[in-house]
Structures are given as structure tokens and as C-alpha cells.
Structure 1
Amino acid sequence: MRQVDVYLVRAFSISGQGGNLAGVVLDADDLTNQQKLLIANAVGVPETAFVCRSDVADYALSFFTPITEVDFCGHATLGAFWLLHHLERISTGGYKQETKAGILSVEVAKNGHVLMSQSLPVWKSEFKAEDIAAMLGIQAQLILQSSLPIQAISTGLVDVFIPVPYGVLDCLEIDSDAIARFCMEHDCVGFHVFEMNPPDAPYTASCRNFAPAVGIPEESATGSSSGALACYLNKHFGYRHSILEQGRAMKMSSRIATQITLSDGEVTQVQVGGEGIFDKIITIDV
């Protein structure tokens, strides 16, 4: 039996409040995948990152939800690099992380804010509002009002992006079982539902993310989905910079900054960033 310390960090917090809890295990090289899954399940937060040595990058990170491993996790990446900086294991500057989604860049600012690069967008299937609306507890016409497509996109993980009118986001009635079945059938992780905010609002869009198929009924900040949504907003509105809100319905509001770089009209870099704050350490026996 071994005791493993798990640091909990609130990623994408707002002035030390809200955010999304990520577990971070440092020096995890000797842990098996079975042990990592046991730890992630015991911790019970949406994702736990395990930081190991790498032969091709500064660190190798693996990510586990309470029930499975996923290729990438934005908020757990932020939590891991924020923690490494907070513990003075790394200084400010640029780093590379090895993940199952590829080798990705991470920048750590002097104030500890983390800006991470994600994979370039992969545009996948579009879906009909009539096939999606009932799982959100709304009428299909509400989705159709936006004249925007429902589309699966990946910048590391595949999510389905669903537009709803302003004022509808907090009124959803989610059928988690149906969403889980849909996601398993269509090889995606979850639903990322968003509403565009008025031009004078502090946030470009407000979002909710549901991923019951991987053990996350709803989470308050989803970095990977935010990168993909930034690409969606660039494609349909031309936005290169977006500030996204998530977690409001959970009373755990998060602030997620995104940045898109283009060359000849094509996306060449996707970046997502924000702040972190230490929550606590818990110890798990494995």
C-alpha cells in the first residue's frame, strides 16, 4: 500500500473564486494506469492529471476522469502547470507537454496564469436540432433560431457544440442517460451548449458542458471544449479572441480566455488560458 498526495487546484477561477477542480499528482512515473484510475475515482473531481517524465517534452501528462482515461484535458493541464509554478518547480516561460492528443505548448506568465496550446481543429459531423433538443429539454425551434449548426469538433477531444438563444442556457433539463448513449454511439465525449451574449456583456458566450459518458454529469470549466468553441466562433463570427463563461448554473463560474491565430485564413494555433488557485491536498491509498 502506498500513499499518494493529490493536489486540488481550481482551474479557470475568477479572482480566486469558482473555477473547476482538477486533481494533480506529481512524480507519477511509477503509477500504473489501474492505480491512476483508482486515484481519479477516489478523488471524484472531473479530471485528475498525472505528471511524469518525458523523453520528447518537458513533461508527460495523462488525464483520468473517475471512470476512464481521456486523451487531453484543458483545465487539468492548467491546474498542473499552475501548480508546478506555484511550487517553484518551474519558472515563467514556455514548456512542452506530451499528451495522447500530441505534444502541446504551454506558457506560464509571471502572475501564474497559464496559456495552453491545443490541437488544430478537426471538424466532424453536423447533427439535426430535432435529434438533439429533447436531450436538453427544449424545443428544436429554439436551436434553429440561431441559424448556426450543431457540430462535433475536436481540438483534443470531440464535443458536440449546440447553440441556444440568449436566456435559455440556465433553463435546460438534461437527460444524462440519453446524452451518454448518443455520445457513445457517435464517438464523442460530451455536449457543449452555449449562448451568445449581448455585445456589451463581459463574456463573448456563456457555456455548459455535459459529459456523462465519461463520468462527468456537468463541469464548470472545460478547456478542451473552449478551444474548439473558439474555432467555431472564429468560423461563424470571425472572432480571434473570446472570453467564455462556464459554470454559472453550478454556482461555480469560470472565466476562460481563448485566442486563435490564422495564416491565409486557416487556423494555425488554438490557445486557451486562465488563472488557478490552490484548494487543498488529499491523500489516497493505492
Structure 2
Amino acid sequence: MRSYSYYVLDVFSGVRYKGNPLAVVLTGSDLDIKSYADIAREFGYSETSFIYYSPEEKALKVRSFTPTGFEVGGAGHNLLGAVAAAILIGWDIFAGQQGGKFVIMKDDIIGLSVDQSIPGAPIIGMRQNTARILAKVSNEDVARALSLKTQQVLSEDLSPAVVSTEATHLMVPLKDIAALGAAVVEKKLLIKIAEQYGFEGFYCFTIVKNDPQYLAQARFFNPGIGIDEDPATGSAAGPLAGYLLQKGYVKPETDYRLLQGAEMGRPSVIHFNAGDEGIWISGSAVIVMEGKIHI
């Protein structure tokens, strides 16, 4: 029997029992795929991250899996929570690095920024590539997949679009908060559309009017990989930031905040800043539990 220490963090929140829960397992080295999948299924969170520090590569190594055994990449809550866990338990994960802070997510090098001014809740920034708009999807198809009326899905300057940074998701602009709250996923239809257009999940959002805190509010659905709904999705917030920049809804190199997870009772705050050189997604994370897992 092998035993590994783990921590559970609430990610994209500076408050416990909010945000997106993530298990982070300290492995010491790479595991076999079956072990990754078994542990992720046992925790049952939308994603579980596995970390160790590689002295040879002078970097924290991270891999993440869903409960269905699907490996997740990109700069999302799975990476933010993994980095926060390493920092909070005292690992010096940036020693010897040249040209800025970074981690290795599977095989990809991802740039980071770290602010530890708030004890116990570091603010981690993760760099994503500039966004690419790949395709449009019809309002009628999107509305059916979300059990909404066609007129609740916007169709003019903002309309359903497949957008990619490291991850590829469908950006779904909705009319208002009421439409966002009314969305109910028809799983088979959503999966069919995602397979047809080559994206992962639906990132539904609405621009919030007259709110000094948030530019937008969002929900994320990705049942194709076992995520019925996610409280916070950094890998989708990046494409949204890039999409809104290209459509003129945000200013370049300017900080904005996005609220996700409110409908689930787990409000999550995602900060984003988009520019010509890339997109930064950032937020806090706090440890809520720790223990040992045996395989």
C-alpha cells in the first residue's frame, strides 16, 4: 500500500466553503494513469491535481484529472489551487528559475505571478495565450441545449462563439441574469454540439449592468468530461476575457472581475486582464482540509 498526503482547497475564493473545491495530492513523482484516475474518482471533485517539485527542471510539476479519468490541462482552478497548496505548505517552488515564475502543467510551461500579502490566501496569476475565435454556433442549437428560448441567447455583436486559449470552450452570451439562472442543460445535446464543433464546455455569461464589483456573471457546463456544472472555471474565463477584448467590451491591460458559481451556492471571484501579449487569470485559494489517501 502506498500513501500520499493531500490538501483540499477552495479556489477562486479567499473564504472557506466558497469557490471551487479542489483536491491536491502530493505524489513525489509521476504516477500511472490508473492511479491518477482512481484517486480523482475517489475525491469526486470536478478536478483533482497531483503535484511534485522537480529539481532537474526547477519547477513544480502538475497534472489534473476529472472523476471520469479525463486529463485536464490549461491555466484553470486546477492549476491555481495546485500552486497555492505548494506555497501554503512552504515549498520553495520558484528557486533557481530564470526569467520569471513558472510551473509545468503536464508538458506545458505556464507563467505565474504570486501575491502573498494576504496571509493564508495567496493570489495566484496564471498566463494564458491570446484568444482565437474559431467558429460560430447557431442560437437555436445553443438555446435548445440550455432549455432556453432563442431570444434569451444574444445574436448581434455578441453571439455564441467557439474561443480558444490553451483550452477551447463555447462562449454563450445570454440576455440577462434571469436567463443565466434559468439555463438547464440537455446533456446529450450539449455533448453533441461540443463534438461537432470541437470544444469542451459551454461558458454561459451575461454582462452585469450597474454593478461596481463585477463586469459579468457566468456558469459553466461540461458533462462530456463529467462536470455537470463548475463553480469556477479559469480555463474558460480566459477565452471569455479574450473574446470580450476583441469585441470591445473590455479595455486592454485593464483589471476586471467575474462572478461564477452563485447559482450553486459557491460564489467564486475570477480576476482577468487581457492584452495583445496574452491573458492573465488570477484569484485566491484557501486550504480547508488535509489528510492521507491510500492506494
TM-score normalised by L of structure 2: 0.88
Shift of 1:57: 5.4
Shift of 1:16: 3.8
Q: In structure 2, what is the equivalent of residue 47 of structure 1?
A: 47
Q: In structure 2, what is the equivalent of residue 118 of structure 1?
A: 128
How many residue pairs are counted as aligned between the two chains? 281
Per-residue deviation, residues 234-254 of structure 1 (Å, max 9, x unmatched): 111133332000001101000
Q: Measure the CA separation in 1 of the matches of 2:93 and 2:84.
A: 10
CA 88–248 in structure 1, closer or farther in 2 if over 3 Å, else same: same
Tell whether the 8 Å contact from 1:7 to 1:23 is kept in structure 2 after alignment. yes
Tell whether the 8 Å contact from 2:154 to 2:160 is kept in structure 1 after alignment. no
Shift of 1:77: 1.1
Shift of 1:144: 3.2
Say which of 95, 111, 133 aligns to 2:101.
95
Q: Measure the CA separation in 2 of the matches of 1:162 and 1:122.
A: 15
Q: Measure the CA separation in 2 of the matches of 1:109 and 1:238.
A: 24
Per-residue deviation, residues 166-208 of structure 1 (Å, max 9, x unmatched): 2211111221232123223332211000010013341100000
Aligned: 1:109 with 2:119: no
Tell whether the 8 Å contact from 1:151 to 1:162 is kept in structure 2 after alignment. yes
The one-letter code of the counterpart of 2:290 is I
Tell whether the 8 Å contact from 1:92 to 1:110 is kept in structure 2 after alignment. no
Q: In structure 2, what is the equivalent of residue 12 of structure 1?
A: 12
Tell whether the 8 Å contact from 1:57 to 1:98 is kept in structure 2 after alignment. no
Aligned: 1:24 with 2:24: yes
The one-letter code of the counterpart of 1:280 is M
Aligned: 1:143 with 2:153: yes
Per-residue deviation, residues 122-155 of structure 1 (Å, max 9, x unmatched): 3211111011111111111221366412111122
Shift of 1:50: 1.3
Shift of 1:162: 0.3
> In structure 2, the residue corresponding to 1:144 is in which secondary structure?
coil
TM-score normalised by L of structure 1: 0.91
Q: Measure the CA separation in 2 of the matches of 1:108 and 1:144.
A: 37
Q: In structure 2, what is the equivalent of residue 157 of structure 1?
A: 167
Aligned: 1:235 with 2:246: yes
Q: Measure the CA separation in 1 of the matches of 2:212 and 2:107.
A: 33
Say which of 70, 73, 76 aligns to 1:71.
73
Most deviating of 179-188 and 227-236: 179-188
Alignment gaps of 5+ in structure 1: 262-266
Say which of 169, 175, 189 aligns to 2:186.
175
Shift of 1:37: 1.1
Q: Measure the CA separation in 2 of the matches of 1:66 and 1:91.
A: 27
Q: Identity rate of aligned residues, in percent?
A: 27
Aligned: 1:251 with 2:265: yes
Tell whether the 8 Å contact from 1:85 to 1:92 is kept in structure 2 after alignment. no
Q: Measure the CA separation in 2 of the matches of 1:204 and 1:17.
A: 24
Shift of 1:227: 1.0
Q: In structure 2, what is the equivalent of residue 264 of structure 1?
A: none
Q: Measure the CA separation in 2 of the matches of 1:4 and 1:185.
A: 40
CA 145–157 in structure 1, closer or farther in 2 if over 3 Å, else same: closer
Shift of 1:255: 0.3
Q: In structure 2, what is the equivalent of residue 59 of structure 1?
A: 60
The one-letter code of the counterpart of 2:79 is T
Q: Measure the CA separation in 2 of the matches of 1:5 and 1:158.
A: 32
Per-residue deviation, residues 202-225 of structure 1 (Å, max 9, x unmatched): 110000000100110001000111
Runs of 4+ in 1 over 3 A off after TM superposition: 14-17, 52-57, 91-94, 144-147
Q: Measure the CA separation in 1 of the matches of 2:24 and 2:17.
A: 19
Per-residue deviation, residues 242-284 of structure 1 (Å, max 9, x unmatched): 20000011010000000123xxxxx212111111111112433
Q: Measure the CA separation in 1 of the matches of 2:107 and 2:278.
A: 14
Tell whether the 8 Å contact from 2:58 to 2:93 is kept in structure 1 after alignment. no
Say which of 211, 216, 220 aligns to 2:231.
220
CA 91–66 in structure 1, closer or farther in 2 if over 3 Å, else same: closer
Alignment gaps of 5+ in structure 2: none
